[in-house]
């Protein structure tokens, strides 16, 4: 099983490590299955930028970024070189080790935390 460490820009939220992530699942799906809050206003179909994350390490274990995803990342709050959309970060290997930072989501409309 893949290991995903979630950290947060918001210092009030404690990091969480998921040790049972499966190949073929997206970072958004892993977050949802493990009670890690990651906004996703479009339902995870690459039609918005609310599931924006920073891939701190392990990018080689994720599907490559598409042109469509790049277009939506440009609309995200504070995009960086390591920005991706959680719905499009599909895990490619069972033994993946990935670290994801979730940006502060307070400015996202529909934010639940």
Whether 110 maps to a domain, the answer reads no
pTM (2 d.p.): 0.92
35: containing domain: 2-102
The CATH number assigned to the domain holding 43 equals 3.10.20.30
Tens of pLDDT, residue by residue over 8-19, are 999 999 999 999
Whether 77 maps to a domain, the answer reads yes
Tens of pLDDT, residue by residue over 38-95, are 999 988 999 999 999 999 999 999 999 999 999 999 999 899 999 999 999 999 999 9
**Residue 19: which region, alpha, beta or left (left: phi > 0; alpha: psi -120 to 50)?**
alpha
* CA dist., res. 48 & res. 4, Å (int): 23
Whether 84 maps to a domain, the answer reads yes
Whether 112 maps to a domain, the answer reads no
* CA dist., res. 113 & res. 36, Å (int): 11
């Amino acid at each position: 099983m893949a290991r995903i460490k979630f950290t947060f820009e918001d210092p009030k939220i404690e990091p969480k490590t998921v040790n049972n992530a499966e190949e073929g699942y997206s970072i958004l799906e892993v977050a949802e299955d493990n009670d890690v809050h990651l906004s996703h206003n479009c339902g995870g179909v690459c039609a918005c930028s609310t599931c924006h994350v920073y891939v701190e390490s392990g990018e080689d274990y994720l599907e490559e970024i598409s042109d469509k995803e790049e277009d939506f990342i440009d609309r995200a709050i504070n995009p960086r070189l390591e920005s991706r959309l959680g719905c499009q970060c599909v895990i490619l290997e069972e033994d993946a080790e990935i670290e994801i930072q979730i940006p502060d989501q307070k400015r996202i409309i529909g934010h639940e935390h």
